[in-house]
Amino acid sequence: MTGSDRFGVCNAILNTSHHDMEKTKNYILLGPPGSGKSTQAELIRSAFHLAHIDIGSELRAEAERETPFGRQINVIIHQKRELVPDALVYAVLIEALKTVPEAQGILLDGAPRRLTQVDEILSVFQSFDRPMTKVIFLELSEEASIERISKRVLCFGCHRPFILGQDIDHIDERCHICGGRIAQRKDDTPEGVRKRFQVFHADTLPVVEQFEKLGQVIRVDANREPQAIFDDISSQL
């Protein structure tokens, strides 16, 4: 599909009637690593009574189920350590959408990650009579992303996350919950964060730009405290 074709499909799905837009409010939340998506997702979900669909969490939950579909995802995520194919992402999204009451809006987190996913995800929402309302984009500099995430550490016993200098003073401390070893994930080192940030800019930023051409993006400065970010978002929803 060409760029102009994709623009036309997105425009047709996003430009719904006023009556349709009054049914539910459906949003996509995007942002680079460390931009505070999880925090903002919870604040938005609670304030606007939305169903939060986190594609990553949905995939991990599905991988734990003893079903053919779950075992297939488990092999991809935990054994092959590969990206889940788009077709499986769409299948998980469809199952998640089935559980949301018709009158409740949705906040989608974790997708679309690439331009190739945009049309299909919008089409899935449209098949549930759920036009997309807005895309919320949390803007964060690479330097801030590295600074925030490089402070994250994890207990390898109970998998509880900690923030250096806030929850614990030194990385050689033991977890106060289970006594487990605390360490930093490879993806959370400065070099790991830099690579993740570059992937976001190469793959996901074009998604933001695609929606922006349609006037559907709310850009929010994420270089601030969570409450200030949320206040900015809520004033535009």
Domains, the chain, ranges and CATH? 3-141+196-234 (3.40.50.300), 151-188 (no CATH)
Q: How does pLDDT run across 93-119, given as a tens digit for each residue?
A: 999 999 999 999 999 999 999 999 999
Cα(130)–Cα(97) distance, rounded to whole angstroms? 10
Task: Calculate mean pLDDT across residues 122-132.
Answer: 95
Whether pLDDT at 17 is above 50: no
Say if CB 29 and CB 37 are below 8 A apart: yes
Q: Which phi-psi region, left, alpha or beta, contains residue 36 (left: φ > 0; alpha: ψ -120 to 50)?
A: left
Nearest to 224 by CA among 31, 50, 3: 31
| Rounded average pLDDT over 231-235 | 97
Q: At what angle do helices 115-127 and 205-212 cross, to 10 degrees?
A: 60
Closest CA to 41 of 23, 60, 58, 28: 28
| Sheet architecture: strand order including 161-163 | 161-163, 152-155, 182-183
Question: Would the pLDDT of 145 be above 90?
Answer: yes
d(CA 129, CA 221): 31
CA nearest to 219, candidates 29, 14, 50? 29
Burial of 96 (0-12, 13-18, 19+ CB in 10 A): buried
CA 42 to CA 230: how far, in whole Å? 10
pTM (2 decimals)? Answer: 0.81
The predicted pLDDT at position 18 comes to 41
Largest CA distance in the chain: 57
Q: Please write the tens of the pLDDT for every residue from 217-230.
A: 999 999 999 999 99
> With 50 as the cut, is the pLDDT of residue 5 above it?
yes
pLDDT of 193 strictly over 70? yes
What's the confidence (pLDDT) of residue 169? 86
Q: Which two tokens stand for residue 158?
A: 């109970």
For 148, the enclosing helix (H) or strand (E) is helix 142-149
Distance, C-alpha 112 to centroid of its chain? 8
Overall size of the chain counted in residues: 237
